[in-house]
Chain A
Amino acid sequence: MSAIPLTPEPGLPGAAPSPAAAPGARAERGEARRARRWYTQPALMIGIGVMALVLAAALAGPLISPYNPNAQNLNATLLGPSAHHWLGTDQFGRDVFTRLLYGLRLDLRIAFLAVLFPFTIGIILGSVAGYFGGWVDTVVMRVVDVVVAFPFYVLVIALVFVLGPGERSIYIAITLVGWVSYARIIRGEILVAKRQDYILAAQSGGLGNIRIMRRHLLPNVISQAIIYSMSDIVQDILAVVTLGYFGLGVPPPTADLGSMINDGQNFLSTHWQLTTFPGLVVVLVGLGLSLIGDGLADILRPGQA
C-alpha cells in the first residue's frame, strides 16, 4: 500500500529523481503475497463497504429524510440534535442531516464526473506522446511542465473565478489542470511497454498504430491510471468542497459540504456540529476511496506491494 502514486502536485519533470518511486521493493517483495492475503484484501473490502454506504446514503437521501434541504424555518434555527433533527438545524432552520445528504450527493456527482474528462484526455495525450515520441512528445510534455508549475488549488480557483462560479466551470477547471497527471503516468508506462516483444510483433505484423495503442497497449497500461484516479477523485472532492467554502462552487441555497462548513464557521464556538459533520463526511469518502485505491494497487500491481 506504500506504493500508491500519491503526488497531488508532482514537481517539475527533470527535477530530482524521486526515490519514493521505487519504495522498499527489496524489503517488501518477499512479503507481498502474505500481505495481499490477510491485509490488503480487507482494505479493498472495507473501502468498497464504506463507499457503498456513502453512495447509498447519497442516492437514497430523499427517501431517508422527510425534509426539504432548502426549506427554511425561522422558528427553529440553530437547534441542537434531537429525534426530529438528527444533527440539529442551521441558522435558517434547515435540517442539517438532510442538507448533509444532499450536499454529499452533489459533491460526489461533481467529483466523479469531473474525473472522467481529465482521465480520458490525459490517457489519450499520454499514449500519443509516449508511443510516437519525437516532437509530439516534446510538445505534450512541455505543456505538462507548465501546468504542473501552478499549485493545483491556485490554478483551479483562478480558473473557476475567470470562468464564473458554478458546476460547469468546475468541470472545465479540473479538466484543464487534472489531465497532466494521467498523461505523465500513461506516457511513462507506454515508454516501457512499447519496447516489449508483443508490441514489436504487432507492429511488424502490420497492425495500425491506433489499433495497437487501443487494443494492445492500453489494456496493459491503464491500471496505473485507474489506481491514480481513486486518489484523484479524493482530490477533486476536496477541490469542490474548497471552492464551495470560498463561495465559488454551486451557488446557494443548494446544499454543498463546503458551503455548509463555511456557514457553520460563524457558530464554531457554540454550534461546533455545524462545521464538524460535513467535514467528517468528506474524510469518510476520502478514507473509502484511498482504501479502494490501495487495494487495487496491490491486486493490479503484483510484486510491487
Chain B
Amino acid sequence: MGRMTFIFRRLLQLIPVAIGCTIVVFFMIHLIPGDPARTILGIHATPRAVALLHKEWGLNRPLISQYLLFMDRLLHGNLGVSLYYGGSALSLILTHLPPTLWLIIYSSVLAVLISVPLAMIAASRKDGARDHAVRVVPLLGLGMPQFWLAFLLIYAFAIKFHFFPVSGWGTGFFGHLRSMFLPSLTVALALAPVVIRSLRASMLNVLGAEFVTTARSKGIAGKRLFLRHVLRNAVIPAVTVLGINIGFLIGGTVIIENVFAIPGLGQLMINSIFQRDFTVVQGITLVFAIMVILLNLAADVAYATLDPRVRFSR
C-alpha cells in the first residue's frame, strides 16, 4: 500500500471521530443549567437579545435540527460570533494559533532531548544506581502540577538569575526561541516522565533483541552499539509515545500559556472563560480536538515512515 493510500484511509477513519467531536461540542451549550441563551447573555440581557440568540441557534427547534444548523455553520467555517470580542470566533482563534503551535513543537523537541539521554543512561545498566536515579524521575514528575513547576522555573531562571523573561513570547524567531524556552521546558519536563518510562522499557527490549547480541559478538560495544544500533530502534517508539500523549501535551500548553502570558489558544480559552464567552470556548475546544486528531495522524505517518517493518502494512 502506498503512502498516500495509507494517509487517505486513516483520514477516512478519522471522519466519524471528528463528527463525534462536533456532537460533544454542540452539546456543551445544553449542559448549561437553565435557559442557555439567558445564561450566556447574562442577567442584564434584554428579552430581545435573548430571543435573537434563540433564533440564531434555533434553540426552540428539536435537538437534531439544532445540530444540523450548528454543522451547517461549521462547514461554512463559521464558529459563531464571539460574545465578548464581537468579531468572528474563527478569526480570533486563528490569530492565537501560532504561539500555541510554537509551544507544541518547541516542547516536543525539548522533551525528546531530555528523555532520550536519560532513558539511555537508565537502560545502559539495568538496576544500577543510575537506573534507579532515573526511575525516580517519573515518580516525582507525574504528581507535579505543571503551573507549579513553571513558578519554580520562573523563580530560579527569571527572578533570581535573569536568564529568561518572566512572560510573553518575544518578537522574531530568536526572540520566540528565548522567551518560549522556559514555557516549553515546563511542558517538556511534565511530559518527560511518561516518555522516559516508555523509552527505557523499549530500549531494554531492543537490548535483549538478537541483532544486539549479534552486534556484541562482532565486537561492537559501548557507545557505538548504543548510538548505531539501540538508539535508532528506540527513537521510533519515542515518536509514537509523543503521538499518543499529544493530548496531554496540548493540555499542558493551555496551563502554561496562562502562567507565562503567552497569547496562544490556551490563554484565549481561559480569558474567554472569565468573560463568559461561550462561543469562543466552544470553538477552541473543537479546534483542540481536531488538532489532537491531526497530530495523531502525523505521528502515525511518521512512525510508519521511520520503521521499515510497518511499511503501511496494516
Interface, chain A (partner B; CB < 8 A)? 1-4, 6-12, 14-16, 18-20, 22-28, 31, 35, 39, 142-143, 145-155, 157-159, 161-164, 231, 234, 237-238, 241-242, 245-248, 258, 261, 265, 268-269, 272, 275-276, 278-279, 282-287, 289-291, 294
Of A2, A31, A246, A291, the residue contacting B258 (CB under 8 A) is A246
Judging by beta carbons under 8 Å apart, are B288 and A19 in contact?
Answer: no
Contacts of B205 in A (CB 8 A): 19, 22-27
A146 contacts B21, CB within 8 Å?
Answer: yes
Q: B90-121: which residues lie under 8 A (CB-CB) from chain A? A: none
> Cβ of B21: which chain A residues have Cβ within 8 Å of it?
146, 149-150
Judged by a CB distance under 8 angstroms, whether B59 is at the interface is no
Q: Contacts A20-B202, A20-B241, A23-B205 known; list 10 others, CB within 8 Å.
A: A19-B202, A145-B17, A149-B20, A150-B247, A152-B248, A279-B144, A279-B151, A283-B140, A287-B143, A289-B143
Which residues B258-309 have CB closer than 8 A to chain A?
A: 258, 269-270, 273-274, 278, 281-282, 284-285, 288-289, 292-293, 296, 299-300, 303-304
**Given A147-B24, A162-B278, A290-B142, A2 contacting B148 (CB threshold 8 A):** no
Q: In whole Å, how far is A178's beta carbon from the nearest beta carbon of chain B?
A: 13
Residues of A within 8 A of B13 (CB): 14
A231 partner residues in chain B, CB cutoff 8 A: 142
Q: Which residues of A contact B248 (CB under 8 A)?
A: 8-9, 151-152
Q: Check B170 for interface membership: any CB of A closer than 8 A.
A: no
Q: Which residues of B contact A241 (CB under 8 A)?
A: 145
- Prevailing SS type, chain A contact patch: helix
Q: Is B208 an interface residue (CB 8 A)?
A: yes
**CA separation between A237 and B145, bound complex, in Å?**
9
CB distance from B157 to the nearest CB of A (A): 13
Chain A residues whose CB sits within 8 angstroms of the CB of B289 once the complex forms: 149-151, 154
Please determine whether A279 and B148 come into contact, CB atoms closer than 8 angstroms.
yes
Most buried by B among A35, A158, A286: A158
Task: Assess whether B285 is in contact with A158, with CB atoms less than 8 Å apart.
Answer: yes
Q: Which residues of A contact B143 (CB under 8 A)?
A: 234, 237-238, 282-287, 289-290
Contact of B285 (CB < 8 Å), options: A39, A150, A278: A150
Q: Are A11 and B145 in touch, CB under 8 angstroms?
A: no
Measured between alpha carbons, how far is A7 from B138 in the docked complex, in Å?
A: 13
- Give, as a whole number of angstroms, the nearest-CB distance from A41 to chain B: 15
B247, closest chain A residue (CB)? A9
Q: How far is the CA of A1 from the CA of B303 in the complex (A)?
A: 26
Q: Are A9 and B251 in contact, with the CB atoms below 8 A?
A: yes
Considering the complex of A and B, which 7 residue pairs feature the smallest CB-CB distances, nearest first?
A: A286-B143, A23-B201, A146-B20, A24-B204, A153-B251, A279-B148, A9-B247
In chain B, positions 109-163 with a C-beta closer than 8 Å to chain A are 126-127, 135, 138-140, 142-149, 151-152, 154-155, 159
Q: Known: A149-B21, A291-B139. Contact between A12 and B293, CB under 8 A?
A: yes
* Bound: A120/B192 CA distance, A: 30
CB distance from A56 to the nearest CB of B (A): 19
Q: Evaluate whether A16 and B17 lie within 8 angstroms (CB atoms) in the complex, with A7-B244, A283-B143 already known.
A: no
Q: Which of B201, B245, B300, B303 contacts A8 (CB 8 A)?
A: B245
Do A279 and B145 form a contact, CB below 8 Å, given A12-B293, A272-B155? yes
- In the complex, the answer to whether A18 meets B244 with C-beta atoms within 8 Å is yes
> Is B68 interfacial (CB 8 A cutoff)?
no
Chain B residues with Cβ under 8 A from A25's Cβ? 205
Binding site for A on B (CB under 8 A): 13-14, 16-18, 20-21, 23-24, 28-29, 31-33, 126-127, 135, 138-140, 142-149, 151-152, 154-155, 159, 194, 197-198, 200-205, 207-208, 236-237, 240-241, 243-248, 250-252, 254-255, 258, 269-270, 273-274, 278, 281-282, 284-285, 288-289, 292-293, 296, 299-300, 303-304, 310
When C-beta atoms are compared, the residue in chain A nearest to B135 turns out to be: A1
List the A residue with the shortest CB-CB distance to B16.
Answer: A142
A24 touches B208 (CB 8 A): yes
Chain B residue with minimal CB distance to A240?
A: B145
Query: How far is A7 from B240 in the complex, measured between Cα atoms in Å?
Result: 12
Closest residue to B208 on the A side, CB-wise? A27
- Bound Cα distance A12, B20 (Å): 13
Tell me which residues across on chain A come within 8 A of B201, comparing CB atoms.
2-3, 20, 23-24
Which A residue's beta carbon lies closest to that of B301?
A16
The docked-state distance in angstroms from the alpha carbon of A1 to that of B193 is: 13
Report the separation of the CA atoms of residues A294 and B193 in the bound assembly, to the nearest whole angstrom: 14
Contact check, B300 vs A15: say whether CB atoms are below 8 A apart: yes
Shortest CB distance B288–A (Å)? 5
Contact A265 B145 (CB under 8 A): no
Q: Which residues of A sit under 8 angstroms from B147, Cβ to Cβ?
A: 242, 245, 261
A10 to B299 Cα, complex, angstroms: 13
Q: Is the CB–CB distance between A245 and B145 below 8 Å?
A: yes
Cα(A25)–Cα(B205), bound, Å: 7
Which residues of A sit under 8 angstroms from B203, Cβ to Cβ?
24
Name 13 A/B residue pairs within 8 A (Cβ), A-sorted: A19-B205, A20-B197, A27-B207, A149-B21, A149-B247, A152-B247, A154-B288, A237-B143, A275-B151, A282-B148, A286-B139, A286-B144, A291-B139
Which of B126, B270, B296 is within 8 Å of A246, CB to CB? B270
Bound: A284/B145 CA distance, A: 11
Residues of A within 8 A of B20 (CB): 142-143, 145-146, 149
Question: A10 with B244: in contact, given A238-B145, A290-B139 (CB under 8 Å)?
Answer: yes
Closest to A4 in B: B197
Instruction: Determine the distance from Cα of A9 to Cα of B142 in the docked complex, in whole angstroms.
Output: 13
